[in-house]
A = this chain, B = another copy of it.
Amino acid sequence: MTDSPRRAPATRVGATPAGRRQLRRALASAAVDLFAANGYEATTVDDIAAAAGVGRRTFFRYFDAKDDVLFANHDEIVAEMEDAFAAADPARDPVEVACDAVGLVLDSYAAELDVSLKRFALTRTVPSLRDKEVATVDRYQRVLARYLQARYEQQGDAAASLRAAVAAAAIAAANNHVLRRWLRTGGEDDIKVRAAEAFALVVAAFRAPRADPATVVAVMTTATPLHEVVAQVGEILRHP
């Protein structure tokens, strides 16, 4: 029970779009505080609405469900990701582009660390919230998969749909892994560096698809250093 977030009555705030955003944030903020203080189930929607100085009915005009309030900025992030895909360099490796895009999620979590930590504590404790978060991640993952599939198809990959789904899942998993470790340590170490390391593993695994199982011949002189031989053969095997 921190400082009670009793907002001003704020009569008819949502008349203007800016006012609507403000009230949305106020509701989300009040909800997170109440959840952290009293627990999720023990907090009713009436409590949240009262803390934000609005009626219960108004809450449901801003959020479809009680648990949606914890993932308020989800839609904005998805929109940002799609913008990033639209503006992406078509020459870059698709998986790298997708990793960059999913990095936007990390940015938004890092931008409001206190909220992220409280939400993390809740999603670890309350099963229904954990499920909700998983569903949220799944939406990111679908956006990734859609972009990857388009790129793979345009590369003529016969298994574009499958490869896109698998790569998207891998990227999302790497992202979540980094995110959870980071939150578990209270947001100490540099999350972007950790993410880059994790994404490197994924990028290495999901390089551009081998067009078909052709036989590849690599020829080097015996004077070539051994590490060079290994590197080149490995590279060739990945990009025949």
Contact = CB atoms under 8 A, between A and B. Distances in A.
A172 B174 contact: no
A132 B174 CA distance: 22
Contacts of A134: 131, 134-135, 138
B202 A166 contact: yes
A177 B166 contact: yes
B201 A166 contact: yes
Interface residues of A, number: 36
A79 to B, nearest CB: 19
Interface string A140-175: 000000000000000000010111011111101110
A168 B169 CA distance: 9
Given A135-B131, A215-B230, A226-B215, A176 B165 contact: yes
Q: Is the interface of A mostly helix, strand, loop or mixed?
A: helix
Nearest to A172: B169
A162 B138 contact: no
Interface string A22-41: 00000000000000000000
Interface string A214-230: 01110000000011001
Most chain B C-beta atoms within 10 Å of own C-beta, residue among A131, A170, A198, A234: A170
A233 interface: yes
Interface string A196-240: 001001100110000000011100000000110010011001000
B166 A170 contact: yes
B201 A159 contact: yes
Contacts of A178: 162
B165 A174 contact: yes
Which of A169, A226, A230 has the most C-beta atoms of chain B within 10 angstroms of its own C-beta? A169
A112 B67 CA distance: 34
A173 B165 contact: yes
Nearest to A237: B234
6 smallest beta-carbon distances between A and B, as pairs: A169-B173, A131-B135, A169-B169, A205-B205, A134-B138, A165-B177
